[in-house]
Structure 1
Amino acid sequence: MSPTAPASARAATYDELLALARAGGLGPDPAGLRISVAFTTRQAVRHEGRGTGYRNEVLSLRLAEAVGSCAVEPGALPDGAVEDCVGADVARLLGHPLPPVRVAALDAYLMHVTPHTPENGARPVALPAGTSLEKSRVRAEAVTGLLGLPPGSTVLVVGVVNSLLEALRSRGLRYIPCDLKGGVTEWGEPVVTDALAAAGRCDALLVSGMTLGNGTFEPLREHALRHDKQLVMFAQTGSAVLPRFLGHGVSAVCAEPYPFFWLDGGPGTVHRYRAGRPGGAR
């Protein structure tokens, strides 16, 4: 069977999806489900042979067998946020004042309702054991392989990952790197900070799921939908959320639930989804 988006009630926007989940329109009543474990993962990395590194901080919530996650800027999560989530019912967290908590709670809930299985439209891609750089490059190939573009096309990359930029170059694609932190890439290329302003100069968008937590996802989804551009999401944040937008501006998702590739050297799995297949996004 060809992979498709998970079947669900229709929701065209993130806010609509959040409201449907709170109302129990996507599965069991979230008021009757509680978060058993909440935790943050902090890491700093500089791959061997690379001149620059980066830091990550991720909030994760466990609901039964599922873990939902949302990345945040390091240090941005207030003290006490983790403790506030433990033992809380999912409905309350879906209305939490902190956007990353809402995203992680929705991700955990949807992971619980529609896990990454072939029946729900996921196509698994194995990540072999290896160094952090080796695993990063394999993941980058899985992500960039979801783009259907001729050589010479330009891709807006929102959330700069050097391995993704390498993989795009190997496919003969140009790119505009974008990140709220700005700066330069490993190769000295300037990083723009306004994704929407740069989107008009690009043929397709390759976007981090982290945009769900910082509020920049919806404008990019709307741009892709309005201009009929490919929007491919690489998602550690919201890996179970973003497949719900296939056919609503999102063309493909490479979903990577916790634990992420950078956490250990053993084998792992990412899950690819595409829109426009038989029985596709609903």
Structure 2
Amino acid sequence: MKINFFCPIWGMVPDYVHQLNGSLEAIFEEIKHAGYDGIEMAIPLNDKQKYEINKLKADYEMEIIALQYAAHGNTLPEFITSYGEHIRSAADVNPVLINSHTGSDFLSFDDNCALIDESMELAKELEMKILHETHRGRFSFHAAAIQPYLKAFPSLKITADFSHWCNVSESFLTDQGVHLDHAIQRAGHLHARIGHPQACQVNDPRAPEWRDAVNHHLSWWDKIIANQIELKTPVFTITPEFGPADYMPTIPYTRKPVASQWEVNLWMKSLLKKRYSS
């Protein structure tokens, strides 16, 4: 099985969705030079900006994972309409998959199911793979909370970011092994960020004080990779996804990040590339 590594564009330039004025090419060039296979990024609704993304994608021979997080609405019909608009826009750059922030932790089970149903209809219509990220604030916010959805939708696939679950549960999920195993079986993409019981991102995973946190996550990721090998998946995708401030802790008064997001993500890519090279 081949593993392709994607770089999150999140944090590389402020408000990149709205500021694609030439700086985006420099970002593509930097990411390509760093040895990534592609970029994970939100896709704007603007056709001119999507044209630029498609051109750079071809010029630099980079794949795209489209991130959908912007769907919104005051009612379920409004939310579904907005969701469809953003998913269809994401599909315009022909991504390898769409990573969706779907639903909300305050919506009812039935309303979240309606949004998942919509995602599955869109996946068929667009012939696109749509995965649902395990993320705070979404239907997938907790290891136990996602279980009824996994049962209701046997084909539902997730982007596994278990750092959020550590934060929500204030634990390393040691008492939720069954829930984790079910989720691992549904993982189709991995966000490689290290969380801990008090936050969804450690300040620097290279620091020795976070060794236990790193090892917990590696054990879960190893199971995901083993499952993908068993499924004979030809290509699996990983995005090292440590974020900028304020995901990244900062020094008081200066708001200077305590570590480099870019360097930490490169370190994680190197670690996992070596770990899974065989």
TM-score (norm 1): 0.31
Of structures 1 and 2, the one with the larger relative CO (CA 8 A, separation 6+) is: 1
Larger helix proportion of the pair? 2
Larger strand proportion of the pair? 1
